[in-house]
Amino acid sequence: MNPHTPETPADVVARLRATFRTGRTKPVEWRTGQLRRMRAMLTERGSDLAAALHADLGKSSTEAYRTEIDFTIREIDHTLDHLDGWLRPEPAPVPAHLGADATAWTRYDPLGVVLVIAPWNYPAQLLLAPVVGALASGNAVVAKPSELAPATSAALAELLPAYLDTDAVAVVEGGVPETTALLAERFDHVFYTGNGTVGRIVMRAAAEHLTPVTLELGGKSPVFVDRDTDLDVVADRLARGKFINAGQTCVAPDYVLTTQETAAALETALVRAVDALYGGDPASSPEYGRIINERHFDRLSALLDSGRVVTGGDSDRTGKYIAPTVLADVDPKSPVMQEEIFGPILPIVTVSGLDEAIDFINDRDKPLALYVFSESGETRDRIAAETSSGGLGYGLPLAHLTVSDLPFGGVGESGMGNYHGRYSIETFSHRKAVLDKPLN
């Protein structure tokens, strides 16, 4: 191909498929080599990615490393430590009618050429972490970074080809036209992180080729705060989980359910917690991020009138800044309760108690995460048994997705499929059944 002629999506997929068919990506040595090269990229060029993340989202270097760069390094290290064991064939018992000499087992086979489509809110981590699993499984990968985080997209498009096998890994930048063209191609798996509207588009396109999909979506992740909890600790953990990345996190606490009496005390504790995190003027805090673009700023600004402002409420469209905001006296029918907030606004909705809270959660779409602050074992058990969510966290928001041995994914409207650690191998592989019956 003429090096001056850009590849089309069809060219990219065909080239990677040709590589996969040679068997090049299947040896464990190739897989682990690619993971080590990606790790080297993150350690040697992490500052470039951190600068890009700051340009796109106002992320501090500390936050960029903690939530994106170091997060991915830990995922790589965990995979390297355990990959041989995960890939080891697993024996299966054989029924007696097949004879004592028959044996059976399962093995993981790579799927082929997979597509990973990343969102803009954690544009490095949410591209690279799935790619870790895809490469560890022995696949060729097309990586599609988000055009809404252009600096990070450009950095990844430069760095990944410089470190990884370009015959088996390709980066395709662009917006809707490029993504649409990619989705028209036949892949062996499509991994999409984003919203339900686009998730439906991805599923429809994949259906044309009967391509399996993983959809990592979102939703309104509720928090239940029980009576008689340490509200200063609750407020600190809520504020940290909610306002990191300016609230633009798929598993961020979306709203709080608690009783009227507890809500009043929690308001005061949240004011202190936000001040402790970002000071009296969060706009000047180097640790507080910005909204991704004006469209999302305008959407979020329209939600600020959905309740009484406890703290925050300030905004600056020019700087794409919305203060960390807590709203009280929020009506369940108000605008802020009709969609995933995906920004730094935390509504408090009062309920009479646990029964009403469970009903409130179950009357809505199944969330990606659900968080519970309660010392009562009965309360914890009831919420676990009587609700459905992608993940469940007691006492600490967000943390479950940092545990590599836990599957991360949604249910219902919040997604399908999961990944991280061994679950990434299961997602990006086919578990093949094998039976051996000797001829003599």
Residue 328, H or E segment: strand 325-328
Instruction: Residue 289: name the closest of 223, 348, 251, 243 by CA.
Output: 243
How many angstroms separate the Cα of 339 from the Cα of each of 5, 203, 335, 336? 43, 21, 8, 7
Given strand 90-92, what is the order of strands in its sheet? 90-92, 103-110, 429-436
Tokens 């015959």 belong to residue: 167
The CA distance from 306 to 330, in Å, is: 6
**Residue among 63, 68, 75, 250 flagged as catalytic:** 250
**Residue among 63, 68, 75, 216 flagged as catalytic:** 216
The dihedral built from the CA positions of residue 117, 125, 60 and 283, taken in this order, carries a sign that is positive
Residues 6+ positions from 268 with CB-CB distance below 8 Å: none
Residue 107's beta-bridge partner residues?
432
Tokens 């950095």 belong to residue: 155
Tokens read off for 423? 């679950």
339 is catalytic: no
Residue 257's beta-bridge partner residues?
224, 349
7 is catalytic: no
Left (φ > 0), alpha (ψ -120 to 50) or beta: where does 257 sit? beta
Residue 369, H or E segment: strand 369-373
Residue 316's beta-bridge partner residues?
321
What is the β-pairing status of strands 325-328 and 321-322? unpaired
Instruction: Residue 94: name the closest of 86, 106, 83 by CA.
Output: 106
The CA distance from 110 to 22, in Å, is: 13
The CA distance from 257 to 264, in Å, is: 12
The CA distance from 362 to 350, in Å, is: 16
Task: Give the residue numbers annotated as catalytic, written as ranges.
Answer: 216, 250
